[in-house]
Structure 1
Amino acid sequence: MNTQNIPQNWQQTLPAEWTIKNAREDGREEEIPLREHPTLKNYTSKDEAVKALVHAQRLLGKTPEGYIRVPEGQGDDEQRNTLYSALGRPDHPEGYTLPDIDLPDGYEMQEDMINGFKNAAFRLGLTAEQVAGLYQWFLPLVIDTHHTMQAETNQLRERELESLRAVHRGRTPHMLDSALRAAEALGGKELIHALDSTRAGDHAAVINAFAKVAPLVLESGMRSPGQGWGEELSREKLREMMQDPRYHDPNKRDPEYVKTVRKGFETLYPGDYIPGSRL
C-alpha cells in the first residue's frame, strides 16, 4: 500500500478554499484556511470534530447552570431583581449598613435624607459595599463644601460690616437697627427671610438703602408693629411722648400720634393694657 499520498492529519483533507477569520496575537484578524485553524488540532479526527459541533449547536439558546441573563429594557423587573440580588444587593433598602462617620459639632444626618439615599441605591441595584464606599466618600465632601461656603459667607458679612463702620462709625448700631425695622415695616417676616436666605442682607449697599428709607416708613421711628423697636423704645421715651401736646392736650390731640404711643405700650407690655397704668 502506497502511503505517500495519505495526509499527515485529517485537517489537510479539508478543501484549501475553505477559509475563516482568525485573531492574531496582536488582536488583528486575518483570513486563513479552515484546515489551519488552531481549534481543529484539539480533535483527533473529523468525526470527533463533527460530533463536537453538533453538541455545541444543541447548547445554543439554553441557559447554563448558574448563568443569569442581563435584562434588557425596563419591563422585566423580576429578572432585574434576580440579577441585583446575585450581585450582592440587599433584599430591601433597610439592609444597607452605612459606616459611622464623625460629624462636626452642630451637624446631624436627617433620617429622611438617609432613607432617600438608601432607596435610590436600592433602585440602582448597588451592592452593600458600593453604598458604604459611596457614603464614606460623599458625606465628608459635603461637609467640607459647607464649611467653605460658610467661611466665605462670614468673610463677606465681616467685610461689608467693616465698610459700614468706616462710614457710620459710632452710629453703625443705630443704622443697622433702623435698616432692620424698615425692612420689617416694608415686607414683614417674608422679606427678612428672603434677605437672610439669599444673603442679600449681608451687603452694605442693601443695608444702606433700607436705612435711608427708614425715616419715611417708620413714622418717627415707631411704626414697626411689635418688632425691631430696639434702643429707641423705652419707658422714658414713652413718658416723654406723653408730655407732647399731641397726646395730652385735648385741643391739640393727634389720633395718629396717640396710636403710636399705644403701640409702644403694647410692644413693651404685651397683653391687656390700660393707658397710663404701667408708667
Structure 2
Amino acid sequence: MNQTETAYLVAYKFGERSVRGSSLSASKGIRIHLDHATANSGHVLFTVGRFPAPSEQDKIRRLMMTTRDGSYALLADVDDLGSKKIAPPEGYTVPSIWEDEDPSTIKGWFALSNLTPCKIEPGMFTSRTGNDLLVSLCGHGSLIYVPLPDESENNPTRLSVNNLPEKITLPDVSPSDHTPCIYAFFTESISTHERRCVFVGRTADFSHQLSDLSMLRSCSRPQSLISALDDPNMRIEVEILERVPFRYKNYAVDLQRLASRENFWIDCFQNRGECLEQLPAGNNLNFDTWTALKVKNHS
C-alpha cells in the first residue's frame, strides 16, 4: 500500500437468516466465528457474498462483523483476503455450519485472526462517508468502509508515553481523548506469535492512565505481564476494548456501568482460558483459605 493511501476496516452487517432449516440470529452467526477461531488456534475463514473491489483490497487491514444496532460485534485482523478463485492459506477454515453454503453465493474470503468481541458505541467509528458507523449500519448496505487512524510514527495526534520500551505498542488514541474505557494488555511471543490477554482494566481517562509506565510493574498486575517486560522474546500490546462514555446524570450509575463492562470483558477472556491471573477488585479471599475450602467442599 502506498504510504499516502488510507488503510481501512471493513464492517459487515449481519442479519437473521435461515441455516439448515433453522433460524440463525445475527449475533449467533457472528459468535460462531469467534467460537471457531477459539478452537482453531485463533484463525477463521470468513466467506462473503459481497467482496471489495480489487482497487480496495490492498487497503484493508481489519474487519468487523456486527449486528445492525452494534450491540454485538467482532473485530479481527485481516491476515489475507482473496476472491473465490484463489485458495485461502492453510490453517484458516470456515465454521462447520457454513460448509454447506451455496458456492455460487460466495464472492471472496478473509483469513482472520485476533478476533475480539465488542459493543459499538456512538462516536467509536466513522464511516468513509463521514457518518457515524451506527448511522451507516441503519442503511441498506451490508458492507461499510471505515478509515483507520494514520499509523505513522510522525502522527502528532497519537498518544505517546516518554521512554516507552519498543516492545510495547499503544493504541491510536489522541492525547485529548478522555473518554472512559475498558482496556487490556496482550502479550505475544515473537517466535510463535501466540497472543494472549493477561490483564483487563477500566479507566475514566485512558490518556492519563498510561502517562505513568510504573503502572505496568504494579504489584496488582499479573506476573505474566511483568515477566513479559523483561523477556526479549515477548512483545506487549495495549488495546482499548470498549469506550464507555459517561452520561453524567448519576455518579454511581456511570461508575457502575464502567465496572460492569470491565467484568464482561474479564469473563469473556477467562472463558477462553486467558486472563487467568486476574482477581476481582477489592478485598479477596486469600489463596490458603480458598485451598482449604476447596478441600472441604470436595472431600
Aligning the two structures, in what range does the TM-score lie when normalised by the shorter sequence?
Answer: under 0.3
TM-score, length of structure 2 as denominator length: 0.17
Which structure dedicates a bigger proportion of its chain to strand?
2
Which structure dedicates a bigger proportion of its chain to helix?
1
TM-score, length of structure 1 as denominator length: 0.18
Greater Cα radius of gyration, structure 1 or 2: 1
